[in-house]
Amino acid sequence: AGVVNAGDGIVSITSAGGITDQGADNLLNITGGSLALVAVTGIGSANAIETAINGAITFTNTTSGSVQITDNSATATFAGANTTGGGNFITLIEQDAAGFKSGATGILSVDAITIQADRMQITKAVNANAGRVTLRSNTAGQLTDLGSMLSAVPTAVTWHLATALTPRARLQRCT
């Protein structure tokens, strides 16, 4: 795929196959106000789709392949589903210091989900079904700041895990 720059506009990409970043790079692929990605065989499966989105990033992948999205904007929110099995996963990375924010409908995967950011606001369900949910910091050795959402919205975070969080995961409630 090439570079899409919609300014603050809506970007919607639907594919009967996969949505791919053909270069093994970390160069920006999509800029916009919001982004909807719908695919059948993966979204950034081999190499993450790099975005700078000022609003909602939504994704749906239905048959095979993984979902990998890396964003670098302070206001993006993530929501979507990867309903494929067989070791296909979701990896969502927010590089901006403002951190990761879950979107309106949460995140669903048949297999594993990894969320990586230095700050996280998870207010909707993150459901890994048969996999595990892993929360990682962008900064080595730094604890991931989950903000005050654990006390402000005590029933908003739902973990449906077949196994526990990644061994030695350190979660710290910061106020």
Using one digit for the tens of pLDDT, what is the confidence trace for 104-147?
899 999 999 999 998 888 888 888 887 888 888 888 877 766 65
Is the distance from CB of 68 to CB of 88 less than 8 angstroms? no
Is the distance from CB of 109 to CB of 82 less than 8 angstroms? yes
- Note the pLDDT of residue 175: 36
Q: What is the pTM of this model?
A: 0.82
- Note the pLDDT of residue 2: 65
Mean pLDDT of 49-76: 96
> What token pair was written down for 29?
């692929």
- Note the pLDDT of residue 29: 94
- Note the pLDDT of residue 152: 35
More confident residue, 154 or 166: 166
Expressed in percent and rounded to 5, the helix, strand and coil fractions of the chain are 0, 40, 55
- Kindly tell me if the per-residue pLDDT of 162 is higher than 60: no
- Note the pLDDT of residue 87: 85
- Kindly tell me if the per-residue pLDDT of 51 is higher than 80: yes
